[in-house]
Amino acid sequence: MTAAAAGGAIRLPRDLPERGREFTRRLRAWYRVHARDLPWRRTRDPWAVLVSELMLQQTQVSRVLLKYDEFLGRYPTLESVARSSSRRVQEAWSGLGYYARARNLHRLARTVVGGGGALPDEPEALRRLPGVGRYTAGAVASFAYGRRAALVDTNVARVLRRVFTRRTDPRTARGRARLWAIAERILPRSGAAVWSHNQALMELGALVCTARVRRCTICPVAAACDTRRADLARTTGGR
């Protein structure tokens, strides 16, 4: 099985369709029980979703929780940011760091308002906006608009690599292309299901399949995981 990518075809696991369905089913069932109640999960407003995704880049959830509602209280719409100055937007962003995100948000708001006032609903159009990369475009498209869009951040990349393709190096362009191809292949068919699927992928990487600790004994997808199988094979001597 292959997927088109720069530099040639990307080979995907032969059993990806079957194992991907089982993985997704188990993952979403786990998420329904264990999902954290986070404010940006209670809205489908594209502006609020975009703000949350930019805030969460390279920033811990606990810090974002302290600023998210406050920022939206001051800037509840794209238009309110577009009318403000970059300096004031950065002041409202204070405490989150990486102020280029606030500057990009201000530029994005003015770009969108100047072009008609609505955030696009397709990933390709979103990626043309200042500060919006492939992950953020997929997040806004799926979480705000219910589009069938994949997303791969650090947490998702780690989960997908460990489960489906443990020898893939996510630091290489080809490795990243392979992980994105897997993410796209295992997406559910409906937009509503994609919302919970993408949220669950990020949640699993944040709470269970973390960078420092693999909590395989409580992982809902351990039965479908390449890395877990390899660990068990080593423990039992290959039996």
Q: Directed axis angle between helix 100-114 and helix 46-56, to 10°?
A: 160
Give burial (CB, 10 Å; 0-12/13-18/19+) of 38: middle
> Is 53 among the catalytic positions?
yes
Q: What is the distance between the alpha carbons of residues 114 and 102, in angstroms, rounded to a whole number?
A: 18
Residues sharing a CB contact under 8 Å with residue 38, sequence separation 6 or more, in sequence order: 61, 65
Q: What is the distance between the alpha carbons of residues 7 and 175, in angstroms, rounded to a whole number?
A: 12
Question: What is each CA distance from 11 to 20, 164, 177, 203, in whole angstroms?
Answer: 15, 12, 10, 27
Tokens read off for 202: 């990020």
**Pick the catalytic residue: 18, 53, 91, 122?**
53
Residues forming the active site: 53
